[in-house]
Structure 1
Amino acid sequence: MDLKIAGRTALVTGASGGLGLAIARGLAAEGVKVAVSSRSSERIEAAAETIGHGAVPLVCDMTDHKARAALVDEAASRLGPLDILVINSGGPPSGPFESHDDRRFAAALDEHLGGAVALTRSALPSMRERRWGRILTITSCMLKQPAAGMILSNVARAAVAAFVKTCANESARDGVTVNNLLPGYTLTGRIAELSGQMAETTGRSAGDVIGDWEAQIPVGRLGTPEEFAAAAAFLCSEQAAYITGISLSVDGGWNRGLF
């Protein structure tokens, strides 16, 4: 399928590895001019090199309010006005409610909801004016089925989803779609990190933790970043113009709910 986005411009945050990098690669393969960002200059420059297609590396720490407010303009100055914005960031620390103080809750909400608000505020006006745009936030399958020991992620992701739905309704008539993409258990460094943390907590091996996750997935395995990136590229495409305000799970059937 021709996604009809060749020549478009995109910014993908949190793209030095994992899902962000896979999405950037997928968009670049479709002919999109891509800027990628991360807090590490060394890692994002290496990522841009692997993406090829003239990918532009940008350094931005999403906890830095000034830096994130300027990121969209920086990308646009290198590529031209942004058509596609993919907002991705690493997940908050795991652990039960009692293990997190107020500062951790505030930090999780600021990085995830605050980051999405800041980037959307910068990108949306130009998209609406040009009557074409795609904004995609990457959250978690736990948005629809909150997981034990993941309270910071559960809360922050839900807040982002409410923001996405509201923005989608407000900008739909201007040709801008705003959607939320929910990864399930996928073969990334984040999975290694989480399985290690949970192994420490439970006294089991990381392999056993991953095995438990696989047993919960009807497909019977963890997903790949490339499978997730294919869904992201479609939602950023011309063909997805009638899809907005959704939270789409890419989780191998892990979520047992109807929606």
Structure 2
Amino acid sequence: MDLGLTNRTAIICASSHGLGRACATALARAGCTVILNGRDSAALEETAAALRNDGATVRTIAGDVGDERVQTALIDVADGQVDILVNNNGGPPLRDFRALDGDAIHAGVDANMVTPIRLVQKVIDGMIDRRFGRIVCITSGSVKAPVPGLDLSSGARIGLTGFLAGVARQVAHANVTINFLLPGLFDTRRLAGVHAFNAEKNGVSVEEAAAAALDRIPARRFGEPTEFGDACAFLCAASSGFITGQSLLIDGGAYPGVL
């Protein structure tokens, strides 16, 4: 399927591993020039090399996307023309909410709410002027169904969703969309941390915690990053301009509600 993204430029934050890398891969295959970002320079360059071997045009900016200098560098390397922004950032470590002090709370909100908002502010006017823009924010399935231990992550991402849902309605007239992807349990490095947290909390082995998590998913498997990346690319497609302000939950049916 041609997504109409040939020669578009996409910034994908935190894209050296996991779901961010999957989104970058899908967008590169759709014809985008992809600008990758990550704190681990070696992993970032390995990802870039893999995409270049597939024929993609790739640029990289190493560093914490919460750093204003990194944000500026991402936009500068795109020559100021950002067609697609995929907001992504690592979530805070799983922990009991009682263990969160003020510094930890502020750090979590800054990483998972303030930073993506600042990036949107930097790119949105150019998108409006060019009459094309796609912004996808990777949040979490815990936005719809809060998970113990992810309280800070859930709160920050819910705040981001509420903030940008209003912005989405202000820019839709210019063919600029803002949507949210809510991953459930995907086979990434983050999943190992989830299993370890639940194992310690419930006094079971990591293997038992993983089996219990799997049992709660009707699809009877964990998600593959590639299918998440494909969903991201679809929301960025030229033909997806009538989808905006939406939260797409991808969790294998684990969420039990109808809305």
1:195 aligns with 2:198: no
1:36 is aligned with what amino acid? L
1:252 is aligned with what amino acid? G
**Unmatched segments (≥5 aa) in structure 1:** none
Deviations 1:122-154 (A, max 9, x none): 111100111100000001011001112211111
Q: Aligned partners of 2:172 and 2:60: how far apart in 1?
A: 30
Q: Secondary structure at the match of 1:11?
A: strand
- Cα deviation for residue 195 of structure 1 reads 1.2
**Unmatched segments (≥5 aa) in structure 2:** none
2:254 is aligned with what amino acid? W
1:2 is aligned with what amino acid? D
1:56 aligns with 2:53: no
Q: Secondary structure at the match of 2:78?
A: helix
Q: Which residue of 1 aligns with 2:144?
A: 144
Decide whether aligned partners of structure 1 residues 24 and 123 sit closer, same or farther in structure 2, where only a CA change above 3 A counts.
same
Deviations 1:67-103 (A, max 9, x none): 24414422312xx611000011111111221011111
Q: Which residue of 1 aligns with 2:182?
A: 182
**Residue pairs, 1:155-170, within 5 angstroms:** 155-170=155-170
Deviations 1:188-219 (A, max 9, x none): 00001221233233332222112111111111
1:212 aligns with 2:212: yes
Q: Which residue of 2 aligns with 1:76?
A: 78
Residues 196-205 or 147-156, more deviating:
196-205
**Residue pairs, 1:216-231, within 5 angstroms:** 216-231=216-231
Q: Aligned partners of 2:51 and 2:148: how far apart in 1?
A: 36
**Residue pairs, 1:116-131, within 5 angstroms:** 116-131=116-131
Q: Which residue of 1 aligns with 2:96?
A: 96
TM-score of the two chains, using structure 2 as the length reference: 0.95
Residues 49-58 or 235-244, more deviating:
49-58
**Residue pairs, 1:6-17, within 5 angstroms:** 6-17=6-17
Q: Which residue of 2 aligns with 1:28?
A: 28
2:66 is aligned with what amino acid? T
CA contact (8 A) 2:15 2:37 kept: yes
CA contact (8 A) 2:85 2:136 kept: yes
Deviations 1:24-59 (A, max 9, x none): 011111111101001222221111111221211111
Q: Aligned partners of 2:17 and 2:123: how far apart in 1?
A: 23
2:229 is aligned with what amino acid? A
TM-score of the two chains, using structure 1 as the length reference: 0.95
CA contact (8 A) 1:72 1:123 kept: no
CA contact (8 A) 1:85 1:135 kept: yes
CA contact (8 A) 1:19 1:229 kept: yes
1:191 is aligned with what amino acid? L
Q: Aligned partners of 1:128 and 1:116: how far apart in 2?
A: 18
1:257 aligns with 2:257: yes
CA contact (8 A) 1:218 1:252 kept: yes
